[in-house]
């Protein structure tokens, strides 16, 4: 029979000394981000707002101020202009126009204006158009996707473990999603469908790490007969800590490489995942596990229910 006398290499008091400061820090940050979201708003991408996006290429590096001046001369002063991957590639986003025909003509007018203002050749590499109605539908469906994911997590963890663990897992995933969304709102970073996909990926990543810790907690509750809930939970978190850190570290290596070398198309996606991996690793311990402890999870909640009429001495009839 195992007990807490077993020597564990790590003995960090996560659920004792560190839990309250961590919960206070998380609560404060999340509250500030929730307040910042309606104040700062979102820098919504074309997927959600609708409009026209053009990608053009120049022979020589071009100054964005010159591009904006050329567009303003033709009446496109509200356009968003930014470099796309290199100083010779430019991404232009225009507000929604009434009618697809008008939008098609609009892209040609913009291209003509850039050609006239440029001394060299300008290549039109990509044109995309999303109607305002489609953008509104994508916003609604994106919100529903996150909601259904949280409901699915709640049901899955409640069936596999116990309702206190399920609530803890949902709190942690909501914490992660709000944190990523809040950071993008606070710094007014572009928010499009790729960011929404990254948030859903963060939810899955965080849940996977949470399940590993919950499984170890359940296993230790069944094997260790001595020790309080705090002691056994701390032991379980310490036992899985090296696995958690190594998984997060190797994932971050890939994400940093994507962010550094993946170009503009992957920068937002990889940045959201980098933030999500950091906060997801933190929330697995200090949100999901701490919430389950605060809700009063005990050994009795996790021990298997004996079948009615089963023999207690294990002998065959």
pLDDT in tens, the chain (317 residues): 444 444 446 788 888 888 889 989 999 999 999 999 999 988 887 777 777 888 888 888 888 888 888 888 877 777 778 887 778 888 888 877 655 445 567 778 888 888 888 877 888 888 877 766 666 777 788 778 888 888 888 888 888 888 888 889 889 989 999 999 999 999 989 888 889 889 989 988 888 889 899 999 989 988 887 888 888 999 999 999 998 899 999 999 999 999 988 877 788 999 999 999 999 999 998 999 999 898 888 877 766 655 555 444 444 33
- Go through 50-76 and write b for each residue having 16 or more CB atoms within 10 A of its CB, e for each that does not: bbbbbbbbbeeebeeeebbebbeeeeb
The ranges of the chain annotated as CATH 3.30.70.3400 are: 51-130
Predicted confidence at residue 305, as pLDDT, reads: 54
Instruction: Please give the backbone phi and psi of residue 274, each rounded to the nearest 5 degrees, phi first.
Output: -60, -45
Predicted confidence at residue 159, as pLDDT, reads: 84
Give the separation between CA 78 and CA 129, rounded to whole angstroms.
Answer: 17
The ranges of the chain annotated as CATH 1.20.1640.10 are: 19-43+135-301
Which residues are CB-contacts of 20 (< 8 A; sequence separation ≥ 6)?
Answer: none
Predicted confidence at residue 34, as pLDDT, reads: 93
Say yes or no: domain 19-43+135-301 is CATH 1.20.1250.20: no
Predicted confidence at residue 254, as pLDDT, reads: 94
Predicted confidence at residue 306, as pLDDT, reads: 54
CATH number of 51-130: 3.30.70.3400
Give the separation between CA 175 and CA 279, rounded to whole angstroms.
Answer: 8
Predicted confidence at residue 259, as pLDDT, reads: 92
Give the separation between CA 284 and CA 60, rounded to whole angstroms.
Answer: 49
Give the separation between CA 288 and CA 284, rounded to whole angstroms.
Answer: 5
Predicted confidence at residue 312, as pLDDT, reads: 45
- Go through 141-151 and write b for each residue having 16 or more CB atoms within 10 A of its CB, e for each that does not: ebeeebeebbe
Predicted confidence at residue 276, as pLDDT, reads: 94
């Amino acid at each position: 029979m195992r007990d807490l006398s077993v020597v564990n290499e790590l003995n960090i008091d996560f659920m004792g000394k560190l839990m309250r400061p961590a919960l206070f820090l998380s609560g404060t940050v999340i509250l500030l981000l929730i307040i910042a979201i309606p104040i700062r708003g979102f820098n919504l991408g074309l997927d959600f707002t609708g409009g026209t996006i053009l990608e053009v290429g120049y022979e020589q590096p071009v100054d964005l101020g010159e591009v904006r001046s050329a567009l303003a001369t033709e009446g496109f002063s509200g356009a968003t202009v930014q470099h796309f991957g290199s100083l010779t590639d430019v991404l232009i986003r225009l507000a929604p126009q009434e009618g697809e025909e008008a939008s098609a003509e609009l892209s040609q007018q913009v291209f003509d204006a850039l050609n006239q203002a440029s001394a060299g050749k300008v290549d039109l590499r990509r044109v995309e158009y999303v109607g305002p109605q489609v953008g509104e539908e994508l916003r609604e469906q994106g919100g529903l996707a996150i909601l259904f994911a949280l409901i699915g997590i709640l049901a899955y963890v409640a069936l596999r473990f116990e309702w206190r663990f399920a609530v803890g897992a949902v709190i942690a995933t909501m914490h992660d999603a709000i944190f990523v969304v809040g950071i993008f709102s606070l710094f007014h970073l572009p928010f499009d469908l790729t960011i929404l996909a990254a948030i859903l990926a963060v939810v899955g990543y965080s849940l996977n790490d949470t399940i590993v810790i919950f499984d170890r907690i359940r296993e230790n509750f069944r094997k260790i007969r001595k020790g309080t809930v705090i002691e056994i939970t701390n032991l379980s978190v310490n036992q899985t800590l090296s696995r958690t850190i190594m998984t997060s570290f190797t994932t971050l290596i890939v994400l940093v490489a994507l962010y550094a070398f993946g170009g503009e198309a992957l920068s937002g996606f990889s940045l959201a995942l980098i933030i999500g991996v950091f906060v997801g690793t933190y929330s697995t311990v200090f949100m999901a596990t701490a919430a389950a402890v605060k809700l009063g999870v005990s050994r009795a909640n996790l021990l298997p229910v004996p079948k009615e009429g089963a023999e207690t001495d294990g002998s065959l009839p």
